[in-house]
């Protein structure tokens, strides 16, 4: 079985600073994907970034990067130069390659960006 743990229910960051949102996972599958989604107060789920378990380099997408430490089973999201619009819930999710779409989500971290 797969499991995602997000230990930070809430985080605050000052505008323009960087912030790291923690995510640890548990899986026995050798091949899997890790995903981060953003859910603003308007409710939609927005895909941010993907990391494959066999990817040698950490994924980056604009101001988002993923600090992937496979041995520690962690996949932390780093947001650089925080903006007010980054205030939202952030969900980490895992899906083994052979799972046929069974995306398992963590409970999320609520990020608040202060002006």
Partner 1 sequence: DAGVIQSPRHEVTEMGQEVTLRCKPISGHNSLFWYRQTMMRGLELLIYFNNNVPIDDSGMPEDRFSAKMPNASFSTLKIQPSEPRDSAVYFCASSLSVVGTDTQYFGPGTRLTVL
The contact set with partner 1 (CB under 8 A) reads 31-33, 35, 37, 43-47, 50, 52, 91, 95-103, 105, 107-108
Cα–Cα distance measured from residue 31 to residue 96, given in angstroms and rounded to the nearest whole number: 6
Q: How far is the CB of 2 from partner 1 (least distance, A)?
A: 10
The nearer residue to partner 1, 32 or 86, going by C-beta atoms, is: 32
Least separation in angstroms between CB 80 and partner 1: 22
Least distance to partner 1 from the beta carbon of 78, Å?
19
Shortest Cβ distance from residue 15 to partner 1 (Å)? 27
Could you tell me the end-to-end alpha-carbon distance of the chain, in angstroms, rounded to an integer?
41
Q: Can you give the C-alpha Rg of the chain in angstroms?
A: 14
Given the complex with partner 1, which of 50 and 64 has the nearer CB atom?
50
Are the beta carbons of 91 and 105 closer than 8 angstroms? yes
Which residue's CB is nearer to partner 1, number 17 or number 29? 29
What are phi and psi for residue 99, nearest 5 degrees? -80, -5
User: Which of residues 35 and 76 has its CB atom nearest to partner 1 in the complex?
Assistant: 35
Long-range contacts of 50-54 (CB under 8 A, 24+ apart): 51/75
């Amino acid at each position: 079985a797969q499991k995602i743990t997000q230990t930070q229910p809430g985080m605050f960051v000052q505008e323009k600073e960087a912030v790291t949102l923690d995510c640890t996972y548990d899986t026995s599958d050798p091949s899997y994907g890790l995903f981060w989604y953003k859910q603003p107060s308007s409710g939609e789920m927005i895909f941010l970034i993907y990391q494959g378990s066999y990817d040698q380099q950490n994924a980056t997408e604009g101001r988002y990067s993923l600090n992937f430490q496979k041995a520690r089973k962690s996949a932390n999201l780093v947001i650089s130069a925080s903006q007010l619009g980054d205030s939202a819930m952030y969900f980490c999710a895992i899906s083994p390659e052979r799972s046929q779409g069974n995306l398992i989500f963590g409970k999320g971290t609520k990020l608040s960006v202060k002006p």
